[in-house]
Amino acid sequence: MVVITRKSLVSRSPLSACKRTFDFFRRWPVIPGVIIGCLAAGAIFAGSLTPYDPKRGDLDARNMPPVWVSDGEWAHPLGTDRVGRDMFSRLLYGARISLMVAGVAVSVGTITGTAAGLVAGYFGGLVDETLMRLVDLWSALPFLLIALILAVSVGPSLWMVIGLLAFSSWSAGARNIRGDVLSLKTRDYVALAKVSGASAPRIMYRHLLPQVTHIAIVITTLRIGSLIIAEAGLSFLGVGVPASVPTWGIMIAEGRQYLLTTWWIAILPGMAIFATVTAFNFLGDWTRDRLDPRLRQLV
């Protein structure tokens, strides 16, 4: 005999199923994870996913619209640009450049900022004052002016952009981590480590670094989006990656004159930047809520 209770009917109702689905999507970053996963897979396997060379054009197929627009063809699902280069191929290869630049730059910036924050917070005094004034000085430097000077002096270069973004991204992390270390170094376990004869590098590595790792992870995930925008902005202005390399910023710059006729040349890379940055920002917010002990109880 099967007994159907009111509770079981409620649990099987469409409203309850919708609520469970909503709670699942709210609890886990499913959509940002799918976007970032598809983007990473497309960037890694770009050569296998498209048969076209992103740098080689076909004048017979120039200005072809996307497949959902009239006169579009499945041979070029996202259309072609003004010289007949396949937009889908250029978007995938542009994702590779954006993720590589942002990944390397944020890794170098996070490591440098974490080390500076640990040293400044632990030693305090003159060391703290010197490093924090250096952070203030670095934050006040005109980023775009430095990029323009380097572009004129040494020419646009991929590694120049990576180095510039890496050295411009360490200061924010250093200040946040230094603030936590100032509080953590007064804890009893740090005092016991000092009494037992542990050296300063060992205390910072074994006892303080694990306590601020969640801050570094959150800063990393939130910083990737801003670095992608910075790289696209530099490429748009012509002071970033060389024009021969397909990047989202260069694609927008090439298509800005044709927004009224061939809008997809500039709109599609702009949408790719928007979706990527939004996904990384949502992932960063979720990571902060999960790893911050003060916010974990609210999730």
Q: What is the pLDDT confidence band of residue 273, given thresholds at 50, 70 and 90?
A: very high
Question: pTM here?
Answer: 0.82
State the pLDDT at residue 293. 58
Rounded Cα distance between 86 and 84, Å, is 6
Close Cβ partners of 105 (under 8 Å, ≥ 6 residues apart): 162, 165, 166, 169, 227
Half-sphere exposure of 35 (CA within 13 A, CB side): 17
Average pLDDT over residues 131-147: 83
Structural domains of the chain in order of their starting residue, each with its CATH number: 69-296 (1.10.3720.10)
Res. 211: pLDDT tops 80: yes
Nearest alpha-carbon partner for 91 in 79, 103, 107: 79
Strand partners, 86: 80
Residue with tokens 């010289």: 83
CB distance 187 to 126 below 8 Å: no
State the pLDDT at residue 9. 44
Write the pLDDT tens digit of every residue in 219-234. 888 888 888 888 888 8
Which token pair is 207? 């006892």
Res. 87: pLDDT tops 60: yes
State the pLDDT at residue 296. 53
State the pLDDT at residue 274. 93
Q: Which of 70-79, 137-146, 263-272 has the lowest mean pLDDT?
A: 137-146
Sign of CA dihedral 245, 247, 253, 259: positive
- Most confident segment among 15-19, 26-30, 198-202: 198-202
Rounded Cα distance between 292 and 187, Å, is 18
Higher pLDDT, 79 or 11: 79
Res. 144: pLDDT tops 80: no
